[in-house]
Structure 1
Amino acid sequence: MIVQPKRQRIAGVVAFTLLYQCGLAALAITQNNYEFLYYSAIQLSCIALLSIAHKRIHYSISILWLLSLWGLIHLVGGLFYVPESWVAAGESRALHNFTVISSIKYQHIEHFYGFFLVTWVSWQTLCSIIHLRYQRRLMPSFGLLLLCATSSMGYGAFNELVEFLVSRVMGNADITGYEDTAWDMVANTAGVFLASITIKLRNL
């Protein structure tokens, strides 16, 4: 079996990510959706930071693809709208308000998926740093998993802070409110919890 060079494989992720970023940005401009451009700028900043970290950490190619997919899912949620026949909560019919089942919305699934990944990224980062410095392989003890879990939840809290700032600057009341934030945090925590269990089971 021929193994492709790491740089070539990563180039595919980079090309895919930049392609949908540019395409969706063009769509947002035609819709006068300047809130999207704010989120897109934040995502590009996160991508830049991840690229810097990747040069040292060497994240798995699967994680990079899944993170890129998360970015796409997140941006699409604010740009596309659901038909009138679909159930949607909130003041707009944006995809992120689409009610999948009961009180669970599209954005909750996106949060669950995203912070599952963030926890996994935190674990890969910790393992790589310890291996580089001490040539040791980490096993997922309760303490180490708790460290990764709380780190991921901290990123989730920062994400809610960013959304709050957007709502103040852009005047978007659709993402404000205690209940909306609380459900997002519940989805984040569920993703973090499942990721922690999965990491533990994979490394028993």
Structure 2
Amino acid sequence: MRKELKFPVYFVYLFLISLLIYIIPKGNYEFIGYAVVIGFLFYFLTITDKLYKYSIFGIWLFAIWVVLHLFGGILYFGGTRLYDIVLINLLGPPYDILKYDQFVHTYCYFAIAILLYYPLKKYMKVSSKIPLIVFAILSAIGIGLLNEVIEFGMVIFADAADAVGGYYNTALDLVFNLIGAIIGAVFVSRVLDEKNI
């Protein structure tokens, strides 16, 4: 493992272990499941980093997302789960834009597009960055779809229907995933890749 990768990896695993110690006794199976999946994801990142040399900036963004995501499901303010709090009331019910959940989805897929850019760059021999940007976006939203399948699994197996939300929530998750992926792919190609960060 690269030296600069150790701190974010240790940070994430220490956070996940601490979180599991806190939520296992509470029986929050939805977020126990998410914590386990995230643990495997971070392991996958560390293994594949040898091949792709991900941006440490992107790894840190993803590590911060882990905290934002998991706190979103376990912290409550005034009886309202953090994920359900409207940060800026841009559009009311049934959309409730901009909720913490939507912000976290945007942020997550911003980070994921950055991470995916590097493996794509390694294998795509193109003279323009536009195909890299497009495929980073498509790959990120593909992972977003997988995330929604995992959420559906939590509805089925962890009785998380009330927490995960309905059709509007899923559709808005996908929209905000796309927004984050677009911003992330453009940002990585125009800023990080140019500066080799």
TM-score tier, shorter chain, comes to 0.7 to 0.9
Deviations 1:120-177 (A, max 9, x none): 11111112345xxxxx786412x33211111111110110111011011122222131
Give the Cα–Cα distance (whole angstroms) in 2 for the partners of residues 146 and 182 of structure 1: 21
Residue number in structure 1 paired with 2:32: 37
Question: Which structure shows the bigger proportion of residues in strand conformation?
Answer: 2
Counterparts in 2 of 1:107-126, with a 5 A limit? 107-126=101-120
| RMSD, aligned CA | 2.0
Q: Distance in 2 between matches of 1:8 and 1:52?
A: 14
Structure 2-normalised TM-score? 0.85
Structure with larger Rg: 1
Q: Which residue of 2 aligns with 1:7?
A: 2
Q: Which residue of 2 aligns with 1:80?
A: 75
Pair 1:63 & 2:51 matched: no
| Cα deviation code 1:78-130 (max 9, x no counterpart) | 1111114xxxxxxxx22111111122111110000010111111111112345
Which one has more relative contact order, counting CA pairs under 8 Å at least 6 apart? Answer: 2
Match of 1:152 in 2: 140
In structure 2, C-alpha distance between the alignment counterparts of 1:77 and 1:58, rounded to whole Å: 30
Instruction: State which of 150, 153, 157 in structure 2 corresponds to 1:169.
Output: 157
Q: State whether residues 164 and 176 of structure 1, in contact with CA within 8 Å, keep that contact through their aligned partners in structure 2.
A: no
Q: Distance in 1 between matches of 2:128 and 2:53?
A: 19
- What is the SS of the residue equivalent to 1:101? strand
- In structure 2, relative to structure 1, the CA distance for the partners of 1:11 and 1:197 (3 Å cut) is closer
Could you say what secondary structure the match of 1:59 adopts?
coil
Pairing partner for 2:168 from 179, 191, 196:
179
Return the offset for 1:42: 0.7
1:16 aligns with 2:11: yes
Partner of 1:90: none
**Deviation of 1:29 (Å):** 1.9
Amino-acid identity (%): 28
Q: Distance in 2 between matches of 1:40 and 1:199?
A: 27
Distance 1:58 1:201, change over 3 A: closer
Whether the 8 Å contact between 1:149 and 1:192 is mirrored in structure 2 is yes
Name stretches of at least 5 consecutive residues in structure 1 with no aligned partner: 1-5, 85-92, 131-135
Shift in CA distance, 144/78, structure 1 to aligned 2, threshold 3 Å: same
CA distance in 2, matches of 1:29, 1:22: 10
Partner of 2:93: none
Distance in 1 between the 2:185 and 2:52 partners? 20
1:96 paired residue among 65, 83, 101: 83
Structure 2 portions without partners, runs of 5+: 90-95
Counterpart residue identity of residue 182, structure 2: F
Q: Tell me the distance in 1 between the aligned counterparts of 2:47 and 2:128.
A: 26
**Residue type matched to 2:170 in 1?**
T
* Partner-residue secondary structure (3-state), 2:24: helix
